[in-house]
Structure 1
Amino acid sequence: MCKKIIFILIFVFSYQTFFAQDSSSKVKLGLGYGFGTELKNSDYTYTNSYYKLQVYYSVKQTKRFQYEILLQPELNFAKHQLLNFYFVKPDDPNYIEKRERYTKLKDLKEYVLNIGFLMRKPVFETASIYVLGSVGPMFADTETERLSKGFAFSDVLALGFTFKVNKITVDIRPNFRHVSNAGLQGSNSGYNTKNIDFGFSFPL
């Protein structure tokens, strides 16, 4: 993970020298990397890392706040394992086979398109804090005891901090994430994780 962060920082400071444009633009393009783990529980483990392409659009600016829309395609890599095999109940068809299958460590991929609304408060000339709420469709490539394979939703609530280095905005974003399918498929207990994102963006 340390190598990835170093690579991102090198790219940021190289890019700002050659390509950064006018900061008055309403549109910013960014990249992000994040990782997280499940909220404390006795039923399962879930760890994840993910990459995001981020497109910011400034909707409105007042004396105190800035309002933005954020579009985030995301590729999420996760590892999951059922710890409490009693989570699969005897009235579930083939429950013994499912307990054996679900208690094995699994690699998961999730393909997400989050759409968010961001309210930003500048705190210094080159720094700001913000609140972000986002939701979007997701496709999970692997069935687990908590979530069926296929369509689901990814919901994120974040509190972030940004600071500018020349024309580049560096972003640190702790967040909570909930994944479920709104009852549209069989298994819908979902996952709850705490995460942190690191990213940067530049005006177009």
Structure 2
Amino acid sequence: MKAGSFFYVCIANQKHIMLLKRIFFILVLFAVMHLKAQEKSSKYRIGLSYGFGSEFSNTDYTFENHFYKAQLYYEIKETKNFKYEILVQPEINFGKHQLLNFYFVKPETSNYQQKRDEYTRLKDVREYVLNCGFLVRKPIGKVCSFYVLGSVGPLITDTETERMSKGFAFADVLALGFTAGYDNFRFDIRPSVRHVSNAGLGSSNAGYNTKNIEFGISYQL
């Protein structure tokens, strides 16, 4: 074997050995974390969810959306029948909105004809939200549970429409949910209703009302 080839083989073997050491270290770390979790259950869970929805049927506007959330659960109390949790959820929401009833923009509105033309076009609406909620959970056996969730949080929307001004607003959510667990994982399905408005802080504040459903997975730390 030539010296160059021998040197190359040695370098390759060293890389493989380092990779195996890293994999072994990661496996040991996961094993330790699993043993710790078995010794004492953490009150924290982290998760991700995806959802979608649309407006309640009406003749004024359309609004379709889908969204992604990161989730942090914290169990604050457990009784014989219920668990009480705090849930923080940063969210990005992608919506499509269109004004159907152009009479919604009144003639007394400044430049009303121009705004009617603008608002009746289909618009992409993006919202950046921080949901903060309180959750009451009813365990069903050792695996499943039902819960009720109420949350409210600030948001920033990047698009002005006839129903809401661009900028700061709030999202209010009321949801029912069902979960099923496996090991430290929990799988979640959550129908909800959502209202978005700016509490009168902007010139337009009719807001949006949507029905949604989301699917999530979380892991107990």
Q: Which of the numbers 148, 152, 156 marks the counterpart of 1:131?
A: 148
Number of positions where the alignment pairs a residue of Structure 1 with one of Structure 2: 187
Tell me the C-alpha RMSD between the 2 structures: 1.2
Q: Does 1:193 align with 2:199?
A: no
CA drift at 1:123: 1.2
Q: Which has the higher helix share?
A: 2
Q: Does 1:170 align with 2:187?
A: yes
1:86 alignment partner, SS class: helix
Deviations along 1:64-106, one digit per CA (max 9) or x if unpaired, are 0000000000000000000000000000000000000000000
Determine the C-alpha separation between the residues in 2 that align with 1:147 and 1:162. 35
What are the within-5 Å matches in structure 2 for residues 25-174 of structure 1? Answer: 25-174=42-191
Match of 1:11 in 2: none
Match of 2:219 in 1: 202
1:97 alignment partner, SS class: helix
Match of 2:27 in 1: none
Determine the C-alpha separation between the residues in 2 that align with 1:25 and 1:172. 22
Deviations along 1:15-65, one digit per CA (max 9) or x if unpaired, are xxx688427110000000000000111000000000000000000000000
CA drift at 1:125: 1.2
Q: Which has the higher contact order (CA 8 A, sep 6+)?
A: 1
What's the TM-score, normalizing by structure 1? 0.90
What's the TM-score, normalizing by structure 2? 0.83
Write the letter of the residue equivalent to 1:149: K
CA drift at 1:135: 0.1
CA drift at 1:167: 1.6
Structure 1 unmatched ranges of 5 or more: 1-17
Deviations along 1:145-174, one digit per CA (max 9) or x if unpaired, are 000000000000000000002221000000
Q: Which has the higher strand share?
A: 1
Determine the C-alpha separation between the residues in 2 that align with 1:96 and 1:62. 59
Write the letter of the residue equivalent to 2:185: I
